[in-house]
Amino acid sequence: MEVLETVPLHAQAQVQGATSSSMFSIDAVIALCVFFALLSACIIIGHLLHGNRWANESITALLLGLLSAGVVLLCTKGKSSRLLSFSDNLFFLFLLPPIIFNAGFQVKKKRFFKNFSTIFLFGVLGTCISFCIISLGVFWLFRKLGVTALGVQNYLAIGAILSATDSVCTLQVLSQDETPFLYSIVFGEGVVNDATSIVLFNAVQSIDFSNINGLIALKLLGTFLYLFFTSTALGIAAGLLSAYIIKTLYFGRHSTDREVALMMLLAYLSYMLAELFDLSGILTIFFCGIVMSHYTWHNVTESSRITTKHIFATISFISETFIFLYVGMDALDINKWRNAKASAATSIAISSTLLGLMMIGRAAFVFPLANILNFTKRSDSEKIVFRQQFIMWWAGLMRGAVTIALSYSEFARTQKTSAKDSALMITCTLIIVLFSTVVFGSITKPLIEAVLLRHRKPAVSDATDIPSLEDLRLLFVETGDQGDQGNNEMPKRSSLSLLIRYPTWTVHYLWRKFDDKFMRPVFGGRGFIPFVPGSPTSTADEGPENP
Amino acid sequence: MEVLETVPLHAQAQVQGATSSSMFSIDAVIALCVFFALLSACIIIGHLLHGNRWANESITALLLGLLSAGVVLLCTKGKSSRLLSFSDNLFFLFLLPPIIFNAGFQVKKKRFFKNFSTIFLFGVLGTCISFCIISLGVFWLFRKLGVTALGVQNYLAIGAILSATDSVCTLQVLSQDETPFLYSIVFGEGVVNDATSIVLFNAVQSIDFSNINGLIALKLLGTFLYLFFTSTALGIAAGLLSAYIIKTLYFGRHSTDREVALMMLLAYLSYMLAELFDLSGILTIFFCGIVMSHYTWHNVTESSRITTKHIFATISFISETFIFLYVGMDALDINKWRNAKASAATSIAISSTLLGLMMIGRAAFVFPLANILNFTKRSDSEKIVFRQQFIMWWAGLMRGAVTIALSYSEFARTQKTSAKDSALMITCTLIIVLFSTVVFGSITKPLIEAVLLRHRKPAVSDATDIPSLEDLRLLFVETGDQGDQGNNEMPKRSSLSLLIRYPTWTVHYLWRKFDDKFMRPVFGGRGFIPFVPGSPTSTADEGPENP
């Protein structure tokens, strides 16, 4: 089985002196050494570059990966650059889950759920629009460019593959404190978009395209909705299970090692179970992370809290660096370029066509959807101004590891499509990822500074947080700010009028009441009790997210 | 490459409905699900059994592994039990390093180095004696039992394989607070013994036995010493490098994620580098752990300290549980038993012969060496009484994952020896590991209670700690207990007379002076400054070990 066949490497290196007393193959050991050394170097260089205008950790890792692949290529005299080759199995089984779990675990839940409607509108509907536009564009343009061997299934898959954005660069630049609304939207949309495009990709894979009829779009929608809701439910169930087990079993005598181990194992188990049932593991583990940070995290010891908060972030950080290094190393794989057999001109033509489609596809939903949302807002301060819309558009132009992994999954294994066009699609995906990460990525910081920071006088432009705080205070004033006491004597009338005036906040408030009354007694969690000074959450926002 | 070919599984399962939209093979996903569910079950059951007289986490994991293999065997109607098969690569590359690193990281350094001479005498010389006796015994007895296809190299390898003890069971029973001396000896010997037997095994592998002459023993000794010292030096160098990097780079602006990631990566890198240079990774990563806990750990933020302290323990804990589960699952592999082609009687005869040799081999060094050590001690209270010697003997009778992994490395791959006898050796190793872990392991707790706790009136029996504390006070009184001040005006005479009276403590004291003067300024670390209340080390013992 090739679940982890990646560690293979340096295939043609001549191993001299076979009297090695080591128990492993020398190739594997060399590759692992180089890889861990490069990872350490990425972290150190990334730290030194901290605050640099043009570079960030992703770009550093990508360039370092390219560089080392170049060195290997020179050392083997152009025969091979394969110190490591990208395996989508390694990516989906071991690298992506911790990143997404950490995203859920550290998400500022209050902000995420406050902007829930916006995030889901962009993440789900937006990704679907982008998917349709790219698929249609590819369908229409590819024949003109001489790519003829692909079928409907391939076109739809390309749409899903190129709809998966990578907002790491943008998030490294945006500040959570200065522009909380934008940060929460870009972050939330990034996660939901990953999940949506993977779900779309899976839906495309599972549908039989041999008899195309009018029902195919409906089928696709049905599969999509089914995957979406069952995956979410599974993730929530797994999170609640972990909260229940730890609350019930460890009452009285806590053991940090067991608690941390159980949280890690159950989170991963939820991901694998989702894959087993052909659901979307990404969505499952994301919601598992949210539930764990809301309930489980409050049932464990103080040191478990600090440990989980940091270790999930660390593992996610290592995985991210690993992925960019990995993509960089893989990009110079000489065999891949040879298999494509396309002239440089064709590759560039196709890549720029796809890049153009991506930009149009994203523009086609960001600006319209933002304006539709603006119609629903009462006050000017809540509206998404054009500058913010531009940043949201830009944040989704980079393509990263999910795109590469999906592209491999579609084109590296199937014998369905012609080998030449498949290889061409993989090299074009690589070009798009490298170009967008390095070029778009490095101008992100100056661009955002130019667009956002220069025009910061009217702090209102990013002030959707301010009315929210007022709303919260309003709610508290009206209900007496009693928290746990007096939940029952709350006037029903007030809730109803609030629901009309502040729909999001009222839903949030009603959820809090439900949480306090039914969920917390069973699953633990801090729920609605006041902030305890000195606890690891130094903001009033509940959960393990960083301040 | 088969670095991680283990994830394979359930080889003959008939996968129905190949229209799976999942990106992975269904077999891998099922196996991972079952495995993570079993791991979680082990942790929960282990927690519930906490305090039970006969069971512990290792035995639970082993039995759970056996049980699930049995279920698979029944489901496939006896065709296969291979949900997972044991891979020595997976073990040596990913499971053993965190366990040994954590052992070094959490070791009570003061106690470890105080009992250094005893630990090394038992761990190195003792293991070598056991190795010789088992090798000679096997050489002499195997022909009589009908095993004829093995050569000198195989006999020596068997000696090394069966010298690797597994003291997990004993350590779970011994209390660090009640019997600190015994705990430190059993723990220290366990780690040094693992390293020694792996180094011996590697030395045996690397020597050409085709022309046997008188120099072979000398050659073996030379290789052994070379491996021992270079590996230790590499580990210390890696640890110091990490301390230097973190101290230099992160001065002023700390980032927990980067610090933790860098510590993990550099520790693992030291292990892989040792393997690359054909040294002993185990020794390297053990000393890397010690140096990291002495220097690096003091250079990082408070939250990094708590995180590293717990996460290394958690990963080590998961790896240990994983290994026992894994061994249990592997033990019922039907093909292995079929390949051995031996009758049950032969297997049992060979296994009990080997068990007997192991017990004799261990007795042959524990009792003589303990009595030799007793001769060098001045006071009665420092002597190792017979009851303690018995526990030390017993603690080394269990065999575990290292034995299995070395046995696979020797007999599963080489085509040198006859397939039949190789398969026989693997099954016998499995029998020994299962028998010793389950039978010896479950009577360890009652036995230790009977031997130690019933006779606890003369607290002296385990009181080697008491004079040590007096020695420490004596040293402090004579040198003025000034710590950092007045290091230069220390009377040389006093050091000399102390060296004669309290050799270990004087070496320790001189090392402290050297550490304070030269090492700490460069590499950081708490060194000899007084205990800060509220820091995560709640004992006066420096380092991240648990109180």
Q: Please give the CATH topology (third level) of the domain spanning B87-455.
A: Na+/H+ antiporter like fold (1.20.1530)
Cβ-based neighbours of A272, under 8 Å, separated by 6 or more = A281, B29, B32, B33, B36
Give CA–CA dist B182/B192, Å, rounded.
15
Q: Which residue has the higher pLDDT, A115 or B210?
A: A115
- What is the nearest CA distance from B252 to chain A, expressed in angstroms? 12
The total of other beta-carbon atoms located within 10 Å of residue B381's CB is 17
- 8 A C-beta contact, residue A286 and residue A195: yes
Within 10 angstroms of residue B346's Cβ, the number of other Cβ atoms is 16
Residues of chain B neighbouring A307 (CB-CB closer than 8 A): 306-307, 310-311, 314
Is the per-residue pLDDT at A239 higher than 90? yes
pLDDT digits (tens, 9 = 90+) for A29-58: 888 888 889 999 988 888 887 767 677 778
Tokens 């648990």: give the residue.
Answer: B546
Q: What is the pLDDT of residue A501?
A: 60
End-to-end Cα distance, chain A: 43
Residue B93: list chain A partners with CB under 8 A: 24, 28, 32
**In the beta sheet, which residues pair with residue B399?**
B165
Give the mean model confidence (pLDDT) for residues A450-477.
49
**Who among B88, B278, B313 is closest to A21 (CB)?**
B278
Q: Report yes or no: B494 and B263 within 8 Å, Cβ to Cβ.
A: no
Residues of A in contact with B245 (CB under 8 A): 44
Give alpha helix (H) positions in A18-85: 26-48, 57-75
pLDDT for B79 equals 66
Looking at A196-200, A401-405, B428-432, B521-525, which range is the least confident one? B521-525
Give the mutation candidate from B24, B156, B207, B320 for the A interface (greatest A CB count, under 10 A).
B24
Task: Flag if A47 and B250 touch (Cβ within 8 Å).
Answer: yes
Non-local CB neighbours of B64 within 8 Å, separated by 6+ positions: B38, B41, B42, B45, B325, B328
Please state, rounded to an integer, the average pLDDT across all residues of chain B. 76
In sequence order, the 6+-apart residues with CB closer than 8 A to the CB of B104 are B191, B285, B286, B287, B288, B289, B290, B292, B293
Is pLDDT above 60 for B278?
Answer: yes
Which among A262, A259, A271, A224 is positioned nearest to A104, based on CA atoms? Answer: A271
* Coil vs helix vs strand at B78: coil
DSSP letter, residue B165: B
Record: contact A264-B89, CB cut-off 8 A: no
Single out the residue of B50, B80, B83, B78 nearest to residue B64, CA to CA. Answer: B83
- Partners of A28 on chain B (C-beta within 8 Å) are 1, 3, 89, 93
**Pair A523, A247: CB distance under 8 Å:** yes
- What percent of chain B is modeled with pLDDT above 70? 75
Percentages (nearest 5) of helix, strand, coil residues in chain A: 70, 0, 25
Q: What is the pLDDT of residue B266?
A: 93
CB-facing half-sphere around the CA of B238: CA atoms within 13 A: 31
pLDDT at B12: 29
A174: Cβ contacts below 8 Å, ≥ 6 apart: A182, A183, A186, A391, A395, A448
Helices A401-411 and A302-331, axial angle in degrees (round to 10): 60
Contact check, Cβ <8 Å, B278/A20: yes
Query: How is residue A380 annotated by DSSP?
Result: G
Spatial distance between the Cα atoms of B185 and B126, rounded to a whole number of angstroms = 13
Q: Which residue of B has its CA nearest to A280?
A: B22
Q: Across all residues in chain A, what is the average pLDDT?
A: 76
Report the pLDDT averaged over residues B112-141. Answer: 88
Do A317 and B46 lie within an 8 Å CB cutoff? Answer: no
List the single range of A112-121, A452-461, B389-398 with lowest mean pLDDT: A452-461
A20 to chain B: which residues are within 8 Å by CB?
Answer: 206, 278
* Domain ranges, ordered by start, for chain A: 87-455, 472-477+490-530
Give B481's pLDDT tier (boundaries 50, 70, 90). very low
- pLDDT at residue B83, rounded to an integer: 65
Residue of A198, A265, A279, A284 best to disrupt the B interface, most CBs of B under 10 A: A265
pLDDT in tens, B184-229: 888 888 888 888 888 888 888 877 766 666 677 787 788 888 888 8
Contact (CB, 8 A) for B400 and B169: no
Residues 6+ apart with CB under 8 A from A237: none
Which residues have CB under 8 Å from B331's CB, separation 6+?
Answer: B65, B66, B69, B430, B433, B434
Q: Chain A: nearest CA to B205, how far in angstroms?
A: 6
pLDDT value, residue A99: 87
Which value, to the nearest 10 degrees, does the dihedral of the CA atoms of residues A404, A233, A205, B18 take? Answer: 120
- Kindly report, residue by residue over A377-415, the tens digit of the pLDDT: 777 777 888 888 888 898 888 888 888 888 888 887 655
B290 closest CA partner among B106, B415, B126 = B106
How many CB atoms lie under 10 A from the CB of residue A318? 23
pLDDT above 60 for A28:
yes
Return the residue in B7, B21, B60, B408 with the most chain A beta carbons within 10 A, the one to mutate for interface testing. B21
DSSP A99-148: HHHHHHHHS-HHHHHHTHHHHHIIIIIIHHHHHHHHHHHHHHHTGGGT--
Query: Rounded to 5 degrees, what are φ and ψ at A406?
Result: -65, -40
With cut-offs at 50, 70 and 90, classify the pLDDT of residue B328: confident
Could you say which of B257, B258, B268 has the minimum Cβ distance to residue A36? Answer: B268
| Contact between chains at B4 and A7 (C-beta distance less than 8 A) | yes
Q: How far is A403 from chain B (nearest CA, A)?
A: 14
How far is it, in rounded angstroms, from Cα B107 to Cα B474? 25
Q: If you average pLDDT over residues B499-523, what whole number do you get?
A: 73
pTM equals 0.80
Helices (H) and strands (E) in chain A, counts: 25, 0
Contact criterion met (CB below 8 Å) for B399 and B164: yes
* pLDDT greater than 90 at residue A457: no
Instruction: Quote the tokens at residue B86.
Output: 């044991």
In a 13 Å sphere around the CA of B66, the CA atoms on its Cβ side amount to: 14
Q: What is the DSSP string of B6-70?
A: TS---TT-----TT---SS-HHHHHHHHHHHHHHHHHHHHHHHTTT-SS--HHHHHHHHHHHHHH
Q: Cβ–Cβ of B265/A318 closer than 8 Å?
A: yes
Q: Which pair of structure tokens corresponds to residue A388?
A: 């913010």
Interhelix angle A344-376/A152-163, nearest 10 degrees: 60
pLDDT grade for A82, boundaries at 50, 70 and 90:
low
Least confident of B41-45, B90-94, B273-277, B533-537: B533-537
**pLDDT beyond 80 at B460:** no
Give the closest residue to B199 by CA, choosing from A464, A21, A125.
A21
CB distance A32–B202 less than 8 Å? no
pLDDT per residue over A425-437, tens digit each? 888 888 898 898 8
pLDDT at A494: 56
| pLDDT grade for A455, boundaries at 50, 70 and 90 | low
Sequence letter at residue B437: T
Q: pLDDT, tens digit, for every residue of B32-85?
A: 888 889 999 988 888 887 767 677 778 888 888 888 888 888 887 766 656 666
CB B435 within 8 A of CB B351: yes
Burial of B196 (0-12, 13-18, 19+ CB in 10 A): buried
Position of tokens 């050991």? A29
Say whether B250 and A9 touch across the interface (CB within 8 A). no
Each residue of A226-238: pLDDT tens digit? 888 899 999 999 9
Question: b vs e for A330-348, b when ≥16 Cβ sit within 10 Å of the residue's Cβ?
Answer: bbbbeebbebbebeeebbe
Smallest Cα distance from B186 to chain A, Å: 22
- The token duo for A343 is 């002239």
Nearest to B44 among A4, A249, A257 (CB): A249
C-alpha–C-alpha distance, residues A155 and B536, integer Å:
57
Q: What's phi and psi for A150, nearest 5 deg?
A: -90, 150
More confident position, A461 or B397? B397
Q: Tell me the C-alpha to C-alpha distance, in Å, between residue B190 and each of A294, A401, B159, B167.
A: 41, 43, 17, 6
Of B29, B203, B245, the CB nearest to A272: B29
Q: Which of B19, B20, B29 to probe the A interface (max A CBs under 10 A)?
A: B29
Cα separation, A51 vs A60, whole angstroms: 13
Question: Which residues, 6 or more positions from A143, have their beta carbon under 8 angstroms from its beta carbon?
Answer: none
CA-CA distance, B93 to B383, in Å (whole number)?
40
For residue B281, CA distances in Å to A7, B98, B234, B318 come to 19, 11, 9, 20
Single-letter residue type at A372: I
Strand, coil or helix: what is A165? strand
Closest-CA distance of chain A to residue B166, Å? 20
CA pair distance A438, B314, nearest whole angstrom: 37
A490 Cβ contact list (under 8 Å, min separation 6): A479, A513
pLDDT winner (highest mean) among B83-97, B437-451, B466-480, B499-513: B437-451
pLDDT in tens, A281-327: 888 998 999 999 988 888 888 888 888 888 998 998 899 888 888 88
Best residue in A7, A24, A279 to probe B by mutation, most B CBs within 10 Å?
A24
Q: What is the mean pLDDT of residues A11-33?
A: 53
Span A85-112, mean pLDDT? 82
Q: How far is CA B288 from the centre of its chain?
A: 14
Q: Which of A88, A258, A266 sits opposite B47 (nearest CB)?
A: A258
Residue B399's SS3 state is strand
How far does B470 lie from chain A, in Å, by closest CA? 34
Q: Do B93 and A24 touch (CB under 8 A)?
A: yes
Residue that wins the pLDDT comparison between B491 and A365: A365
Which of helix, strand or coil describes residue A399?
A: strand
Average pLDDT on A120-134 reads 90
Please tell me whether residue B214 adopts helix, strand or coil conformation: coil
Q: How far is A396 from chain B (nearest CA, A)?
A: 25
DSSP assignment letter at A95: I
In this structure, are residues A43 and B276 in contact, taking their beta carbons and an 8 Å threshold?
no
Q: Check whether B381 has a pLDDT greater than 90.
A: no
The beta-strand segments (E) located in A304-437 are: none
